[in-house]
């Protein structure tokens, strides 16, 4: 009979214990990170935001009733914003909200001034990159209507902003 060495001198028990300790330390690290870091996508008052959806749809329906649509272009070299608004409303200024899909701290609020015949001008921050959601409305406080769209920046193309409501048959 061959003599066997004690368990603590064997390779496999230490390998299995090492895997167990590694999984415990990695999962503990992820648990600490999940608890300490805030999730920017989850809002504190999510219930109130959910109730406000009908108000948002009413704003988009109002834009549809006014036959509003806009073409937006952001010049990649100068970051000038040019909006051509078509429809039955011409406010003195428009407010453009650039919403980054995953990080709310990157959202931008911009003011566009009316120049002539539905043309509005403004200035965007330099080096806008990636995909953005766009919201265009006539006032900061309780806007009467809203146009929405998406843009992948930088781009030489213009982007269409529409009421975003479904047509009812």
pLDDT digits (tens, 9 = 90+) for 73-132: 999 889 999 999 999 888 999 999 999 988 888 899 999 999 998 999 999 988 889 999
Rounded distance between C-alpha atoms, residue 69 and residue 84, angstroms: 8
Question: Pairing state of beta strands 130-137 and 93-99?
Answer: antiparallel
What pLDDT does 127 receive?
Answer: 80
DSSP letter, residue 162: B
What mean pLDDT is reported for the chain?
87
Rounded distance between C-alpha atoms, residue 105 and residue 84, angstroms: 28
What pLDDT does 169 receive?
Answer: 35
Q: Are 143 and 137 in contact (CB under 8 A)?
A: yes
Q: Does 24 have pLDDT greater than 80?
A: yes
């Amino acid at each position: 009979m061959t003599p066997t060495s004690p368990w603590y001198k064997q390779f496999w028990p230490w390998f299995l214990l090492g895997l167990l300790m590694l999984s415990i330390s990695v999962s503990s690290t992820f648990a600490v990170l999940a608890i300490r870091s805030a999730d920017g996508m989850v809002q504190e008052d999510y219930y109130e935001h959910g109730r406000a959806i009908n108000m948002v749809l009413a704003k988009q329906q109002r834009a549809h009733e006014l036959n509003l649509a806009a073409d937006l272009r952001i010049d990649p070299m100068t970051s000038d914003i040019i909006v051509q608004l078509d429809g039955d409303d011409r406010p003195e200024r428009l407010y453009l909200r650039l919403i980054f899909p995953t990080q709310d701290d990157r959202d931008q609020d911009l003011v566009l001034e009316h120049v002539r015949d539905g043309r509005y001008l403004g200035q965007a921050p330099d080096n806008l990159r990636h995909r953005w959601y766009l919201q265009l409305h006539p006032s900061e406080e309780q806007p009467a209507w809203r146009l929405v769209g998406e843009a992948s920046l930088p781009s030489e193309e213009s982007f269409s902003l529409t009421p975003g409501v479904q047509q009812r048959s």
